[in-house]
Amino acid sequence: MRIGVGPIVEEDQSLMNTAPSIPWTYARLAGLPLAWRRRLLRMILTARRLPGRLTGRRDDTGFAATFESVLRLPRRESLRLSAAAHHHDAATELEWCALHRRPVAAIRRDMDRVTITAPEVMERVATGGRPVILAPLHMGAYVLGLATLLLRYFPGRPMLVLRQRDDLALETQVIERLRETGADVRFLNVSARADFLSAVRFAQKGAVIVVFCDLAPSYGAPAEMPMFGLPFRFAFGTDTLARLTGATVVPLATTMDDHGDTVTIGQPFEVRGGAAEERVQVTEIMRRHLQAAIAARPEQWHLWPSLADYLPSSATMHDNSPAGGEAPHTLAA
């Protein structure tokens, strides 16, 4: 099972204000420093797979067929990425638990292990005097990455994360912990027009707005963004929000490794008007960002289980068998 927009925990959804029940293993590992807990988790998961390897069995953990058909990768590489995706699920869940359990000073030390690929771009955007919209994918431990960006480049400004569902108990408590670090992160459900207008007002008053750029087209304002030879469609209302607020949009993607996280900054853009030509241009910027991020670390994109939501029912997957010995399909954007 993949983690979509929040953690997987054992909790009663009817009791949103009660403490979540965190699995025993995660509860023990979550209190450790970032590199320690991630390396120990890798050792635990490797040990669990060892019996199968010793008997020559290599179980498909669920995504090999998807990686073969969508990314047109060889079977061996698809199996490797599928196992990596399984590990990434567990690692991401552990990071939610760590944000919930670790002391504030320890969370700040974890933030020191977050690397920003283009700090000069973030500094320019932060001091540019315009509202800011961050457009991440659901990849990696994105909450820690977003909180780090807020504290490093936008101190004193609130961050408003837009979404269309209610909070989980663990999410609510994690957000409260982040506020103790000085990162004023809030969620806003935008299920109605009035909610959207609230987001506009927040941005105009200086809040940093977060709009995930990889939502399914059913979320509204669908745009064609073909990737990997398939007719992908994504929700893309970010251009409208940017036009109404006068904001600079910064595409980004967070990925995680045992030693720390990396926030990759994409090409910032602004939306001056409502012309169709401009929407085509900014849609292409976002499409290239999405494809480059997913191609670079496909095992860390959380939304593979919802793949059908991004494609028309008539879409067919590629045959991964190269004809005439040609190389498999490239993943470059």
Domain boundary among 46, 71, 101: 101
Q: Does residue 163 share a domain with residue 134? A: yes
Q: Give Cα separations from 121 to 62, 111, 203, 248, 327 (angstroms).
A: 38, 19, 20, 11, 36
> Contacts for 265-274 with beta carbons within 8 Å, 24 or more apart?
265/116, 265/117, 265/118, 265/121, 265/122, 266/135, 266/292, 266/293, 268/121, 268/125, 269/242, 270/130, 270/242, 270/246, 271/239, 271/240, 271/242, 271/243, 272/243, 273/243, 274/243
Q: Cα–chain-centroid distance for residue 329?
A: 24
Q: Does residue 190 share a domain with residue 54? A: no
**Contact residues for 167 (Cβ-Cβ < 8 A; gap 6+):** 16, 175, 187
R_g of the chain, CA atoms, integer Å: 20
Q: Does residue 61 share a domain with residue 147? A: no
| Structural domain boundaries, residue 274 | 113-310
Inter-residue contact 149 to 134 (CB < 8 Å): yes
| pLDDT for position 330 | 40
Q: Does residue 130 share a domain with residue 257? A: yes
| pLDDT for position 319 | 46
Q: Does residue 71 share a domain with residue 175? A: no
* Residue 40 CB-density burial (10 A; 0-12 exposed, 13-18 middle, 19+ buried): middle
DSSP string, 247-266: PEEEEEEEEE-SS-EEEEE-
User: How many domains, the chain?
Assistant: 2
Q: Does residue 193 share a domain with residue 47? A: no
Q: Does residue 253 share a domain with residue 303? A: yes
Q: Does residue 128 share a domain with residue 36? A: no
Q: Give Cα separations from 38 to 26, 29, 33, 134, 259 (angstroms).
A: 11, 8, 9, 27, 8
Domain presence at residue 107: no
Domain boundary among 60, 75, 101: 101
Cα separation, 311 vs 127, in Å, equals 39
| pLDDT for position 3 | 39
The dihedrals phi and psi of 180, each to the nearest 5 degrees, come to: -65, -25
Domain boundary among 79, 101, 123: 101
Inter-residue contact 160 to 209 (CB < 8 Å): yes
Domain presence at residue 18: no
Q: Does residue 97 share a domain with residue 189? A: no
Domain presence at residue 47: yes
Domain presence at residue 321: no
Domain presence at residue 289: yes
Q: Does residue 60 share a domain with residue 145? A: no
Q: Does residue 165 share a domain with residue 127? A: yes
| pLDDT for position 182 | 87
Domain presence at residue 332: no
For helices 238-245 and 193-204, the axis angle rounded to 10 degrees is 50
Which segments of the chain have a pLDDT < 50?
1-18, 319-333
| pLDDT for position 220 | 82
| pLDDT for position 329 | 41
| pLDDT for position 314 | 65
Cα separation, 117 vs 265, in Å, equals 6
User: In terms of DSSP bridges, do strands 248-256 and 269-270 run parallel, antiparallel, or are they unpaired?
Assistant: antiparallel
